Structure 1
Amino acid sequence: MNAGGTKQYDGWTTVALLLTGGYLFMVVWPLITVLFSSVTDEAGFSLDGFSTFFSSRLYYGTLLNSLVVTVCVTVLAFVIAFPLAYFMTMFQVRGNRIIQILILASMMSPPFIGAYSWILLLGNNGLITRWLQSTLGLESPSIYGFAGIVLVLTLQLVPLIFTYLMGAWRTIDVALLEAAESMGITGWRRAAKVIMPLLLPTVLGGSLLVFVRAFADFGTPMLIGQGFRTIPVLIYSSFVGEVSIDRSFASAVAVIVIAVTLAVFLIQKYIVDRRTFSMTAMRPIEPKRLTGWRGLLIHGYVYGFLVLALAPLIVVVVSSFRNTLYGQFVDGFSFRNYITAQRDIFRYIGNTFSIGITALVLLVMVAVLVSYLTVRRKNALTGLLDTMTMIPYVVPGLVIGIALITAYSQPPLVLTGSFAIMVLALAIRRLPYTVRSTTALMYQFSPSIEEAAVSLGASKTRTLIQIVVPALAPGILAGAVLSWVTIITELSTTLFLYNTSTQTLALGIYAQVIRGQLGTAAALSTILLVLTMLSLLLLMRMSGGNREVRI
């Protein structure tokens, strides 16, 4: 300290300033340009975009549609996930560990792959549709519209709440359950009156993520929505419409989406802050053996959900080997889909790895620096930086994509379609989650070890590079693998930003489905699923099977 008792300016302050300036320029400024675009037109200041949206049922109805879908998906996901986590924790379910891995794996594929696979099952020419018509003479329920969107998103997002609940269950002491049982409260009454209040912060946290993902999902309603339009589809069609483009209107709708997600986030945060408490399981719950009809019902519930969750993925893999004619499936199996699309496959895989790995390296470097600054160098500047990194947490990926193309599609900095903007978009999208997980690791690392290194003559920078990072490397790498999975499956953030030279596997799959090339789409989806599974196996191996996964 100096004579005035204030902290001296040092190199870490420079790092904090550079990170804050970079974040303001790369994230905050693009979002400000969207806000500016929403209240201006060629003549100057204008609120016509908002006026148009709220004056037409065709437009504001998409917001109502999205809210109805999102609420239904969030409620259904919890209703399904809570019993699933309860059974998996309280009872000995056969194959428990494998089931958890498979449930997690089912969540890692993009939602639009789930939509596409259900088209293969229940579409107009789907497997189940044709079987019911030819064998039983029955007409299958349609996968298109509101019901189909809710089905696909619910199956996709149940594992998200399930993962949060499984982590929270491990903090409950069995003494609480025994105390409730001694008072005559058992079974579902105990789950509702004792366990549920304890898990409420976790449930709200998981539900917020489900809400944001369902509300902002573009691929699913685009593929199977048909006449049921949601707000992400409206934004997309307004921004890159075939008939007309109204970017001012699209920006206004994007601002409305941000307002909705921000309001939900603040409400969730307010409730959680009022009910925050800590638990430590001195005696973790010991699963009980299942016998009789109860065992059959519980196993039936767990395995039944697993079949529904994995069925779309299995269908995609099998369909990738079916013969096609003009993009449509015909009888017979072969490797034709892979062979005919091998040029595109190599290009998509090359782009996925080059863009994804570059984004991942950038992401990890920034996350480590931000975490170190916010934990070890606490001040107003690092507090601001920590708060800003949470912005993409509540801003949907589609809106981030619009913000980047609005800010960087004109001189002096034109990045649209470039490698750089794809890397930037993917890194921004995952940054809040990686920073939070790295910050949690940094809090667990004792400052005394760093102080010992400094006392022996090492600089703080050298201590971070040679002591802190290697000590936290297993956790950082495990988080990086999980970030990699979400990076390679990302669609909505990069939907406006790519060109043919920067098209990734996820974007390639979406393009092939839109073109009606179902066989090629299935082949590309299978490759993406294989990459996802291999990444998850690596994550499990690195974490020793004990790491709680936070999405």
Structure 2
Amino acid sequence: MAKKRSFTFWSGVTLVIVLIFTLFIVYPLLSLFVSAFRDPETQAFTLENFMKFFSKKYYMRALGNSFKVTTLTTLLAVFIGAPLAYLTTAFKIKGKGLLDILIIISMLSPPFIGAYSWVLLAGRSGVITTFVRNTFGIELGSIYGFGGILLVLTLKLYPYIYMYTKGTLKKVDASLIEASESLGCSGIKKIFTVIMPLITPTILAGGLIVFMNALADFGTPMLIGEGFVVMPVLIYNEFISEMGGSASFAAAIAVILVMVTSVMFVLQKYVVNKKSFTMSSLRPIQAKELKGWKNIAAHVLIYFIVFVSIIPQATVIYTSFKATSGAIFVKGFSLESYRKIFTSLGGPIVNTYKFGVIAIVIIVLLSMFISYLTTRRKSTLTNIIDTLTMFPYIIPGSVLGITLLISFNDKPLILSGTSLIIIVAFVVRRMPYTLRSSAAILYQISPSMEEAAVSLGDSPVKSFFKVTAIMMLPGVLSGAILSWITIINELSASVILYTGDTRTMSVSIYTEVIRASYGTAAALASILTLTTVVSLLLFFKVSGKKEISL
């Protein structure tokens, strides 16, 4: 007779996690698809929503605009990020550590802050625009529209390529480069025949992250897009609009966007798996000293790119201390903007930290259990869980916001308008950072440590909490800090889910910019930027690293 499998603690944990994922990932996605194929009046099955999208030039133009922005952003990010990573790895660059931190800060700050900063600098009445107009009599091109979106997203997203490529270059064995040089391959030829093939899978992986982020971004095109409409803005307008907005049509657009991101995700995985290989760097690349004009050119190029990247953060901090008269900046400095936000916008500040802390606690617990189940207790159910953890990568924030509202806006479970629905969005969207670092550190912990505890009389459950969980903490916490940074900067889902009582700082910054109240927006953005920097320094302290590995 076959031995009956008893119901254990881990069986219960697996079942609970499957139920949580089913309720907050599977069910919302199914609700989204059902809504997309439903007539809003008769509730009958229909393809009308999709026919409407593909038959009207306005909607197809939005899809084309999204591809145009995301493709060019990805190409520019690769064009900037990969050479920058090579220069800082292969050559000695002064202040390299500080430059890395500044690049990471520009990457982790929300892109809508970049959009708002460039409006202050290069808008119709911006500082740079006014200076050039008054001094040289030249009218600069508008920051609004396609060009502005491309500028902001490229400066925000090229650090992903930079961090990915730099991490891979550190694994390249210097003997490969020396061998190519001994065969007469040097300079540019060496880069394209030896180094590029080695880092191509990494660039493709980073390119997917850039593509997904650019495609999903809502704040930047909403603030500076003007007539240039992209898919996330179209979804928001159709869902929120008081003039003919349709939840079913918005759901259909969201389904199209999910299908696009899914196809891109699968394609990238296929290409990377075909081209990927393992590198073992016995002798990593040693940074060489550049001399003469090459040294000057490399430093000028790197410093210029980093300077332009960090302009948004510097601008918001500077303008937060500027005196204001109503919504207009005037001469002199003042703390009035900070006084205003703490007297009238204290709620969003408290909400940001409160919702973020609750979400992080849930993320840490789930990540520890999920990573343990998927690496140490493999089964059909844990494989399903592992697959479901991929969904946050392919669900844009605006789509997630709509799926949650559609799913939990009616009985038996009404969450719309509550803080819980925002916390759920935070957990679903930002758990992968912690989950990934938890799984990574678990692979470095030998199962024999747990087995030793069991042999000394501890139960398997007790040995997990007393041994494995404690050893996992450094990796879990470093991932949790990255999740925290992205949570406090979240806008795409929050702007759809928030109410007056559940506004967060990112939503408040967005609404203040829309109202042209730039002083208070700058003060809020400065607090958010400062929190990001402090969190980043905490990450370095906890992880013992000097950089972020992606």
Name the TM-score class by shorter chain: over 0.9
Q: 1:180 to 1:6 in 2, by over 3 A?
A: farther
Distance 2:133 2:219 in 1: 28
- What amino acid does structure 2 have at the position aligned with 1:259? M
**Alignment partner for residue 25 of structure 1, among 19, 23, 26?**
23
**Alignment partner for residue 11 of structure 2, among 1, 10, 13?**
13
TM-score, with structure 2 as normaliser = 0.98
Contact map agreement 2:73 2:214 (CA 8 A) in 1? yes
Contact map agreement 1:145 1:226 (CA 8 A) in 2? yes
> What's the CA shift for 1:387?
0.6
Contact map agreement 1:172 1:279 (CA 8 A) in 2? yes
Contact map agreement 1:218 1:233 (CA 8 A) in 2? yes
Distance 1:205 1:4 in 2: 45
- What amino acid does structure 2 have at the position aligned with 1:387? T
Distance 1:371 1:549 in 2: 18
Q: Hey, what does 1:271 align to over in structure 2?
A: 271
> What's the CA shift for 1:515?
1.2
Distance 1:426 1:510 in 2: 18
Q: Does 1:38 align with 2:36?
A: yes
> What's the CA shift for 1:346?
2.4
Pairing 1:403-442 to 2, within 5 Å after superposition: 403-442=403-442
> What's the CA shift for 1:343?
2.1
Which deviations, in whole Å up to 9, do the C-alpha atoms of 1:112-166 show, x marking residues without a partner?
Answer: 0000000000001100011111111111121011111000000000111111111
> What's the CA shift for 1:479?
1.1
- What amino acid does structure 2 have at the position aligned with 1:490? E
Distance 1:11 1:195 in 2: 49
> What's the CA shift for 1:309?
0.3
- What amino acid does structure 1 have at the position aligned with 2:22? L
Contact map agreement 1:316 1:525 (CA 8 A) in 2? yes
Contact map agreement 1:167 1:548 (CA 8 A) in 2? no
> Equivalent pairs: percent with the same residue?
44
Pairing 1:345-494 to 2, within 5 Å after superposition: 345-494=345-494
Which deviations, in whole Å up to 9, do the C-alpha atoms of 1:344-370 show, x marking residues without a partner?
Answer: 342222111110000001011001100
Aligned length: 548
Long gaps (5+) in structure 2:
none
Long gaps (5+) in structure 1:
none
Q: Hey, what does 2:49 align to over in structure 1?
A: 49
Deviates more, 1:134-143 or 1:86-95: 134-143
- What amino acid does structure 1 have at the position aligned with 2:391? I
For residue 496 of structure 1, give the secondary structure of its aligned residue in structure 2: helix
Q: Hey, what does 1:203 align to over in structure 2?
A: 203
Deviates more, 1:322-331 or 1:92-101: 322-331
Distance 1:405 1:212 in 2: 22
Which deviations, in whole Å up to 9, do the C-alpha atoms of 1:174-198 show, x marking residues without a partner?
Answer: 1111111111112222121111111
Distance 1:344 1:10 in 2: 51
- What amino acid does structure 1 have at the position aligned with 2:261? T
Q: Does 1:164 align with 2:164?
A: yes
> What's the CA shift for 1:430?
1.0
Contact map agreement 1:367 1:438 (CA 8 A) in 2? yes
For residue 330 of structure 1, give the secondary structure of its aligned residue in structure 2: strand
Contact map agreement 2:359 2:423 (CA 8 A) in 1? yes
Pairing 1:99-248 to 2, within 5 Å after superposition: 99-248=99-248
Distance 2:547 2:386 in 1: 24
> What's the CA shift for 1:5?
6.2
- What amino acid does structure 2 have at the position aligned with 1:85? A
Contact map agreement 2:433 2:480 (CA 8 A) in 1? no
> What's the CA shift for 1:199?
1.1
> What's the CA shift for 1:262?
0.3
Deviates more, 1:240-249 or 1:337-346: 337-346
Distance 2:174 2:77 in 1: 26
Q: Hey, what does 1:505 align to over in structure 2?
A: 505
> What's the CA shift for 1:544?
2.2
Which deviations, in whole Å up to 9, do the C-alpha atoms of 1:381-436 show, x marking residues without a partner?
Answer: 11111111111111111111110010011122111121211111000001223222
> What's the CA shift for 1:8?
4.5
For residue 324 of structure 1, give the secondary structure of its aligned residue in structure 2: strand
Which deviations, in whole Å up to 9, do the C-alpha atoms of 1:496-525 show, x marking residues without a partner?
Answer: 111122111111101111111111101111
Q: Hey, what does 1:254 align to over in structure 2?
A: 254
Contact map agreement 1:39 1:47 (CA 8 A) in 2? yes
Distance 1:388 1:217 in 2: 22
Distance 1:178 1:8 in 2: 59
> What's the CA shift for 1:328?
2.0
> What's the CA shift for 1:272?
1.0
Deviates more, 1:181-190 or 1:363-372: 181-190
Deviates more, 1:55-64 or 1:321-330: 321-330
Contact map agreement 2:417 2:498 (CA 8 A) in 1? yes
> What's the CA shift for 1:464?
1.4
Distance 1:182 1:544 in 2: 38
> What's the CA shift for 1:171?
0.9
- What amino acid does structure 2 have at the position aligned with 1:48? E
Contact map agreement 1:73 1:154 (CA 8 A) in 2? yes
Distance 2:450 2:525 in 1: 46
Deviates more, 1:264-273 or 1:459-468: 459-468
